[in-house]
Structure formats: C-alpha cells, structure tokens
Amino acid sequence: MNARMDANDACDLRFGQVGIACVRVRRVDAAALCDELERRMRAAPQMFARAAVVLDLSHLPALPDD
C-alpha cells in the first residue's frame, strides 16, 4: 500500500509485503515530519499497530551537520 503523496509532504510512506513501513524522509524538518507521521497514523492506526519502520534518508537534499 502506498499513501497519497504530495510534493509538500515531509515524507513518503509505503508499506511492503511483509508489514514493513518505509518512511522516505524528504525534508530536514523534525516538526513537519512529526506532524506528517501523526496525521497518517491517525488516518489508519491499525496499519501501524505492529509494523516495523525503516527510515530512508537517501532522498534528503543534504544531511544536517549536527
């Protein structure tokens, strides 16, 4: 399952075949990422009940210095 993606979203969220959620982080903005994940979890809490989560940082424009 793939969640709806918007160019302004802080992350993309995809679920694989074995119950692994892949969160592709697109912006270095912790508050926006937290808000985005909370919004998605409220929309479908049962999908996150026992899901492992992988953070994919490879799509960030640049990694933070600290």
**Predicted pLDDT of residue 1:** 46
Specify the number of domains making up the chain. Answer: 1
55 in helix, strand or coil?
strand
For residue 51, the model assigns a pLDDT of 80
State the pLDDT at residue 44.
Answer: 84
Which domain covers residue 44, as residue numbers? 1-66
Higher pLDDT, 22 or 66: 22
| Per-residue model confidence as pLDDT tens digits over 8-56 | 788 787 877 777 888 888 888 899 999 998 998 899 888 878 888 888 8
Q: How far is CA 64 from CA 6, 18, 38, 57, 60, in A?
A: 23, 31, 23, 11, 9
Q: What is the pTM of this model?
A: 0.64
